[in-house]
Structure 1
Amino acid sequence: MLGFRLSRSRERRRARAIRALFIIHGAERTPEGRSLQLLREWLSPAQHLQFTAKGYFEVIGGDTGRKYRIYAGASTNVCEVDEKGRPTRGLCFVPRGDLPVGDVMLSQKIALECCENRALEVARRFAPTGFMFGRSRLLG
């Protein structure tokens, strides 16, 4: 019998979709669900609306006043955006440890708002791709 193997990109998309379904359908008793609940509690009303509608929220850097967009995800999910709202530069920085996605996103929010320059020092840069624009509304 022939076996089929998903390509790496399809495997990643499938894993993200499974994770999204898990998160959307009430995993409040799990670390993922609790971390997302905590994140929602820390978001401003405007950020909460953005996150619910678009799957990302924006923060203003505490040191430079630049605007950043934090997408749903645990890595390569932060972009600096220009005055027209277009992602200009991707940033990858995460806290140490294997943390749930909500905790990672909350730590990124706090780092950018409170110690932006230090976060930028450790961040790896990448070019934002179409993938960043096409993310679905994973975590309402």
Structure 2
Amino acid sequence: MSLTHTEVTAELEPCGAEGHPDCGIRDVLDRIGDTWSVLVVVELASGPRRFSELQRAIDGVSQRMLTLTLRRLERDGLLSRSVHPSIPPQVTYTLTGPGRSLTHLVKALADWSLAHRPLIADARAAYDAAHPAHTIR
């Protein structure tokens, strides 16, 4: 990013390290860019979900990781948690306004990923063939 973005990052408490004018956005990008957060946003884009529905829908996420992800997204104001009085209590998660504003970005990223997946797979295979001793995966 260019130095013109420092006005934006100043509001988000940049780290202040010389040569890192944009690191103030790093914490936000780290949150919304991590695998589980993206998948939670994708799932909640179609409406409120209960914890168990999210866990079933997001293949490979552990209960602990989903709990942490939901808490972090709630803390960041991207989703809300509602407890409904029943026995046992039912908890639903819903995207907030800022969370909903992410959905078109996440959808664009998902669409791009699907469209370019074969190209990336071919590039990886070509790289691996050209560099058989590498350990990059």
* Bigger share in strand: 1
Structure number with the higher helix fraction is 2
Establish whether TM, by shorter chain, passes 0.5.
no
Larger Rg: 2
Question: For this structure pair, what is the TM-score category when the shorter chain's length is used for normalisation?
Answer: under 0.3
TM-score by length of 1: 0.25
